[in-house]
């Protein structure tokens, strides 16, 4: 037993070291749109403002505070802005390992941690100055704390749950979906314990969840209270039609089918393996729900609950809203693959003749899954998330004296608000027509072309008809291309 634990520990340390290296490498690549929002609209504010400003759903509150501290101590740079995400990302791998370890699936936990360490998606978010890796960390720890609390009925476990759940909510309020699913699961367990099995009376059982969930709500309200007026104003704006919420092209982003397609597209070259991974995940999810229902069921509830609520509220359903499920889903894939390996070893006589039993097949399968992830991981280092700096450098090289450069649509922030404040912005078709009528030699910079077509269709049509597409710059963010149009006088 001692030898087994030592081997597990050594392998897990190797996993964490690998995770650290992969998240440091490339951490200083240029910022993409949402990171620029985080930097220019929130992190650069005075500390006194940050304590009372909510601003928008783009403000991942606790992450903003961490990024403010990081850039204040280390200087403003992409790597320092992202450093909290990288640290939280490595810690989230440890948290997922502990969570799956709680279910007594030691080797499933270890292989899941290894897959997260080399996961393209996990590295991408660990190098993203946003709070998603923090969400994964704190929701995983809240799930672990609830597992212990329901198992041991200790107040200290529920108190830890309150802290972790509140920390998740301080990063992003969408954590409430998973916490609600955890609450429903805890109520189901309590109903069985109190009314069906009658192992305990209602109050001794109920005081723990009241401390856990009530404490989380109390801490969250305490933190958000100073910014309540700003939050009311922000959410009121979401209740009115605007280009940020509704519109012809935005409807696509509110479609769950679009979310599924974008998620599958993100797997790139290894997309052919996704159906097998889904089959393994289905098997693993069923087995985990049987073996550790208090861990598995909240995640299984969370995914459809999030889709239903966001769809009903006409909000965009970004694939990143489900990043907090990645640890559970990877564990399901591994658990399902291990079950298939055991079943194959039992019912395949040819494998027995080759001395390939269940444990050996699991090792081979684990190695194959890790190595299959590497080609996609390389993509993360081959290009930035969005190539704004490359686009600005291209125009600096190509622009001739007297030529005008203007931005349109979502290109305003990364260029006019960050890289090239001297470039004027076009905010309507009338402004576009006036600018193009007055200037024959003109460059137009577009970011997120789909959004331009949806929001300014007349401008998009004129660009296609009257301008040359001089260059385009693509990063790893799907749909985040930068198009540069040029028109020169005859």
Q: For 345-382, what is each residue's pLDDT tens digit? A: 887 766 666 666 778 888 888 999 998 888 888 888 98
Residue 14: CB partners within 8 Å, gap ≥ 6? none
Residue 376 burial (10 A CB sphere; 0-12, 13-18, 19+)? buried
443, 406 Cβ separation under 8 angstroms: yes
**What does the DSSP assignment read for 17-37?**
HHHHHHHHTTTTSPP-HHHHH
Instruction: Give the separation between CA 138 and CA 132, rounded to whole angstroms.
Output: 10
Q: Count CB neighbours of 323 within 10 A.
A: 21
Those residues with Cβ within 8 angstroms of residue 36's Cβ, 6 or more apart along the chain or in another chain: 388, 413, 414, 417, 418
Q: Is 316 exposed, middle or buried (0-12, 13-18, 19+ CB in 10 A)?
A: middle
Biggest distance spanned by C-alpha atoms of the chain: 87
394 and 471 Cβ atoms separated by less than 8 Å:
yes
Beta pairing class for 404-409 and 442-447: parallel
- What span, in angstroms and rounded, lies between the C-alpha atoms of 168 and 162? 10
Report the DSSP beta bridge partners of residue 442.
Answer: 404, 487
β-pair type (482-487, 468-473): antiparallel
384 within 8 A of 32, measured Cβ to Cβ: yes
What are the φ/ψ torsions at residue 359 (nearest 5 degrees)?
-60, -40
Neighbours of 481 (CB within 10 A): 18
- For residues 332 and 285, the answer to whether their CB atoms sit within 8 Å is yes
Number of helical H runs and strand E runs in the chain: 24, 5
Q: How far from 8 is each of 14, 255, 280, 397, CA to CA, in Å?
A: 10, 43, 24, 54
pLDDT at 344: 84
**d(C-alpha 403, C-alpha 226), whole Å:** 48
Question: CB atoms < 10 A from the CB of 26, how many?
Answer: 16
pLDDT of residue 247: 39
Q: Name the CA radius of gyration of the chain, rounded.
A: 25
φ, ψ for residue 294, nearest 5 deg: -70, -20
Going by their DSSP bridges, the two strands 425-426 and 482-487 should be labelled as unpaired
pTM of the entire structure? 0.91
Distance between CA atoms of residues 398 and 182, nearest Å? 56
Q: How far, in Å, CA of 208 to CA of 153, rounded?
A: 7
pLDDT at 245: 39
Mean per-residue pLDDT pooled into runs of 10, the chain (490 residues): 70 97 96 95 93 88 96 97 98 98 95 96 96 97 97 94 98 94 95 87 90 97 92 72 41 57 62 79 94 95 88 75 93 95 79 69 89 87 92 93 91 92 92 86 92 91 92 90 84
């Amino acid at each position: 037993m001692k030898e087994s634990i030592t081997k597990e520990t050594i392998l897990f340390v190797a996993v964490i070291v690998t995770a650290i290296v992969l998240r440091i490498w490339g951490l200083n690549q240029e910022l993409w749109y949402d990171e620029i929002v985080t930097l220019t609209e929130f992190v650069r504010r005075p500390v006194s403002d940050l304590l009372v400003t909510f601003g928008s759903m783009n403000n991942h509150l606790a992450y903003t505070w961490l990024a403010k501290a990081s850039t204040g101590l280390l200087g403003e740079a992409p790597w320092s802005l992202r450093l909290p995400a990288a640290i939280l990302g490595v810690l989230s791998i440890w948290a997922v390992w502990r969570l799956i370890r709680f279910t007594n699936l030691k080797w499933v936990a270890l292989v899941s941690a290894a897959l997260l360490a080399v996961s393209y998606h996990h590295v991408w978010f660990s190098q993203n100055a946003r709070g998603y890796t923090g969400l994964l960390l704190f929701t995983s720890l809240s799930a672990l704390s609830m597992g212990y609390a329901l198992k041991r009925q200790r107040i200290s476990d529920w108190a830890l749950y309150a802290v972790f759940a509140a920390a998740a909510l301080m990063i992003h309020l969408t954590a409430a979906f998973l916490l609600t699913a955890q609450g429903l699961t805890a109520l189901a367990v309590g109903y069985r314990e109190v009314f069906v099995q009658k192992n305990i009376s209602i109050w001794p059982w109920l005081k723990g969840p009241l401390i856990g969930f009530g404490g989380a709500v109390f801490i969250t309200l305490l933190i958000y209270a100073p910014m309540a007026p700003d939050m009311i104003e922000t959410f009121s704006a979401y209740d009115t039609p605007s280009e940020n919420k509704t519109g012809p092209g935005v409807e696509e982003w509110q479609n769950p089918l679009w979310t599924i397609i974008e998620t599958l597209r993100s797997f790139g070259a290894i997309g052919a393996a996704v159906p097998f991974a889904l089959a393994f995940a289905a098997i693993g999810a069923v087995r985990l729900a049987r073996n550790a229902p208090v861990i598995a069921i909240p995640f299984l509830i969370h995914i459809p609950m999030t889709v239903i609520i966001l769809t009903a509220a006409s909000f965009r359903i970004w694939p990143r809203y489900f990043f907090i499920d990645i640890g559970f889903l990877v564990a399901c894939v591994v658990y399902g693959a291990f079950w298939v390996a055991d079943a194959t070893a039992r019912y395949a006589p040819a494998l027995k003749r080759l001395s390939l039993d269940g444990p050996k097949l699991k090792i081979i399968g684990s190695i194959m899954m890790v190595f299959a992830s590497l080609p996609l991981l390389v993509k993360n280092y081959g290009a930035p998330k969005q190539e704004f700096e490359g686009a600005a450098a291209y125009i600096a090289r190509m622009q001739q004296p007297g030529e005008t450069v203007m931005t349109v649509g979502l290109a305003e922030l990364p260029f006019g608000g960050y890289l090239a404040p001297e470039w004027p912005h076009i905010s309507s078709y009338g402004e576009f027509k006036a600018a193009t009528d007055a200037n024959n030699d003109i460059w137009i910079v577009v970011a997120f072309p789909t959004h331009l077509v949806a929001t300014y269709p007349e401008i998009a049509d004129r660009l296609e008809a009257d301008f040359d597409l001089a260059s385009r710059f693509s990063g790893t963010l799907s749909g985040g291309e930068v198009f540069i149009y040029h028109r020169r006088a005859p």
